[in-house]
Chains A and B, each alone.
Chain A
Amino acid sequence: MSVFDLRLSELHNRLQNKQLSVTELVEHSFKRIAETDGEIGAFLTLNEEGARKEAQALDARLAEGGERGLLFGVPAGVKDNIVTESLRTTCGSKFLDNHDPIYDATVVSKLRSAQSVTIGKLNMDEFAMGGSNENSAYRAVRNPWNLERVPGGSSGGSAASVAAGQVYFSLGSDTGGSIRQPAAYCGVVGLKPTYGLVSRFGLVAFASSLDQIGPITKNVEDSAYVLQAIAGHDHRDSTSANVDVPDYLSALTGDVKGLRIGVPKEYIGQGVDPQVKERVLEALKVFESLGATWEEISLPHTEYAVATYYLLASSEASSNLARFDGVRYGVRADNPANLLDLYRRSRSEGFGPEVKRRIMLGTYALSSGYYDAYYKKAQQVRTLIKRDFDQAFEQYDLIIGPTAPTTAFKLGEQVNDPLTMYLNDICTIPVSLAGVPAISVPCGLAEGLPVGLQIIGKPFDESTVLRAAHAFESQAGFRDLRPALS
């Protein structure tokens, strides 16, 4: 058993009792990475010097005695679109190959305040655009459960590193499913908070109205601890919600008696793998046994969500990625003839195919003559999708379904077919468009690969989402599922 399989409270006790040092934890992380990351490819940059120095400093503080927070000394990985001061941050893109950020993202500062140790930066689809991690400009990440399979994306490195026991937890980002879907494929817990709960300051923007940072962990309790550490208002993010952050730990009561669950028929219908559906129905039986009730419901605009998302997210991306122009950071083309040539060639050299494709799609949707037909139309349909959720939540406390319609697919299987790839996000995208919180928690295996259960809640009601996920996890017995990775 790995020291990373210890419960956080147990790990904490061992640190407090000096049975374990932060240096040992950090060395365990680097050792595990050295053993496994040649195959997995989860890390783009290791913070070896920084993490070791930090560990020494924290061990010195431990020697002084006194109570520490639960994340004290705990090794974490950070998705590479979250900026870390003086620690290379590439967004999985050659454009930012040598980018050396001048500040920490708010979530990174918060983890630092909690005295967690950043082990390194995690691989991802370039600029978070993708659902398989094959769009990384560096290397594809492989799924620790089966090296022929993708880990999901875009936070594939974040999910794979936790599943492979390389770090205790990680941070990912989710725009249309990029935390939840890789968590499902890798058999770990991934939480996308309500839009606005966690500061986006220092998250390199993909689609600003959708992007949200969240934790990837081995269990729900850890998810609550990490969310507690990173949530809250930030004046540096003008879309940060000014709401009180509740105590998420106290929500983990194990009691879901009387909770009303809606199960959208659209999430378990056509296109959903029968075994995935079977695991979800078994999970609903677990909820029944715990005293919750469920009924089939309809979110009638679900079938329009993927088209809506790709128009809106690509439009926002085409605008956000205009900043990568070769002037202030990143790639600059050699010997530009003039400023326009500098922009065009720097961008063409620096961006990979999926990023170019989405910039093209977004630019088209925003261009003169097409704005109303595509961009505005999609914004209106977004309103209808959000209303589906508002109406469902008038009658139900939670909405539950699969996180993804299938388990992890094979590398190379979908990479040349963008539309098919986009449809993997059919269960996660509507949730992102509505801006509500959702968690993916393991609900068993299908042919040896993990299946994720998606539990969706009302805006800013992470407490109920975590409570239900925790009760399910405690009852269902999949918490300690680990890949047989040597």
Chain B
Amino acid sequence: MSITIKDVEHVANLARLDLSEAEKEQFAGQLNAILKYAEKLNQLDTDGIEPTSHVLPLANVMRDDEVRDSWPVEKVLRNAPEEEDGQFRVPAVLE
């Protein structure tokens, strides 16, 4: 199975990336090579093998429900490309 330009466009849309025609060509080729290499994993029978998402025996890490200060608004907005009235400004979501 091989990645077409159409597949690249679909994945770029999911990833919220705009790619140039040259990038699409290049990524199609490179992703094909990488995924072809990754097919070697199919040599292994993994039926019944538990997936490892991380190596620590940790689940549902809890902390005490204590009231703590949150960041001051001016600090949080310090790197905002655009802000207004103490909030991040973005283009209209609903048109």
Report which A residues bind B (CB closer than 8 A).
98-100, 102, 195-196, 208-209, 235, 238-239, 241, 301, 303-304, 306-308, 310-311, 318, 322, 325-332, 336-345, 347-348, 351, 353, 356-357, 359-361, 363-364, 367, 374, 376-384, 386, 418-419, 422, 433-435, 459
Q: Which of B45-95 contact A (CB under 8 A)?
A: 46, 49-56, 58, 61, 63, 71, 75-76, 78-82, 88, 90-93, 95
A352 to chain B, nearest CB (A): 11
Q: Give complex CA distance A480, B50 in Å.
A: 46
Q: Which of B16, B49, B58, B90 contacts A344 (CB 8 A)?
A: B16
Q: Which residues of B contact A418 (CB under 8 A)?
A: 30, 33-34
Report whether A102 and B75 are in contact in the complex, using a CB–CB cutoff of 8 Å.
yes
Report whether B56 and A356 are in contact in the complex, using a CB–CB cutoff of 8 Å.
no
Q: Which residues of A contact B76 (CB under 8 A)?
A: 102
Q: Which 3 A-B pairs rank lowest in CB-CB distance, beginning with the nearest? A: A435-B55, A379-B51, A332-B81
11 contacts between A and B (CB under 8 A): A235-B63, A310-B34, A327-B88, A328-B79, A339-B91, A339-B93, A344-B17, A356-B27, A374-B35, A379-B51, A418-B34
Given A327-B90, A328-B79; A209-B16 close (CB under 8 Å): no
Please, how many residues of chain B have a CB less than 8 angstroms from a CB on the other chain? 52
Report whether B88 and A384 are in contact in the complex, using a CB–CB cutoff of 8 Å.
no
Report whether B38 and A374 are in contact in the complex, using a CB–CB cutoff of 8 Å.
yes
Report whether B56 and A239 are in contact in the complex, using a CB–CB cutoff of 8 Å.
yes
Q: Which residues of B contact A360 (CB under 8 A)?
A: 8, 11-12, 15, 17, 27, 31
A327 to chain B, nearest CB (A): 5
Q: Which residues of A contact B51 (CB under 8 A)?
A: 376, 379-380, 382-383
Given A332-B81, A363-B14; A386-B41 close (CB under 8 Å): no
Given A330-B79, A384-B44; A336-B91 close (CB under 8 Å): yes
B36 to chain A, nearest CB (A): 9
Report whether A361 and B44 are in contact in the complex, using a CB–CB cutoff of 8 Å.
no
Q: Which residues of A contact B71 (CB under 8 A)?
A: 102
B92 to chain A, nearest CB (A): 7
Report which B residues bind A (CB closer than 8 A).
3, 7-8, 10-12, 14-19, 23, 27, 30-31, 33-35, 37-38, 40-44, 46, 49-56, 58, 61, 63, 71, 75-76, 78-82, 88, 90-93, 95
Considering only CB atoms, which chain B residue lies closest to A99 in the complex? B79
Most buried by B among A311, A381, A422: A381
Q: Give complex CA distance A418, B30 in Å.
A: 8
Report whether A367 and B17 are in contact in the complex, using a CB–CB cutoff of 8 Å.
no
Considering only CB atoms, which chain B residue lies closest to A359 in the complex? B15
Report whether B90 and A348 are in contact in the complex, using a CB–CB cutoff of 8 Å.
no
B88 to chain A, nearest CB (A): 5
Q: Which of B11, B38, B44, B79 contacts A329 (CB 8 A)?
A: B79
Q: Which residues of A contact B49 (CB under 8 A)?
A: 380, 383-384
Q: A98-B79, A301-B44, A326-B81 are in contact. List 15 more A-B contacts (CB 8 A).
A: A102-B79, A195-B56, A235-B63, A304-B40, A307-B37, A310-B34, A328-B80, A339-B90, A356-B19, A356-B27, A357-B30, A360-B11, A361-B35, A367-B11, A418-B34
A24 to chain B, nearest CB (A): 34
Report whether B18 and A344 are in contact in the complex, using a CB–CB cutoff of 8 Å.
yes
Most buried by A among B40, B44, B51: B51
Report whether A196 and B56 are in contact in the complex, using a CB–CB cutoff of 8 Å.
yes
Report whether B14 and A367 are in contact in the complex, using a CB–CB cutoff of 8 Å.
yes
Report whether A241 and B18 are in contact in the complex, using a CB–CB cutoff of 8 Å.
no
Considering only CB atoms, which chain A residue lies closest to B51 in the complex? A379
Report whether A379 and B75 are in contact in the complex, using a CB–CB cutoff of 8 Å.
no
Q: Which residues of A contact B17 (CB under 8 A)?
A: 344, 347-348, 351, 356, 359-360
Considering only CB atoms, which chain B residue lies closest to A98 in the complex? B79
Considering only CB atoms, which chain A residue lies closest to B54 in the complex? A209
A3 to chain B, nearest CB (A): 37
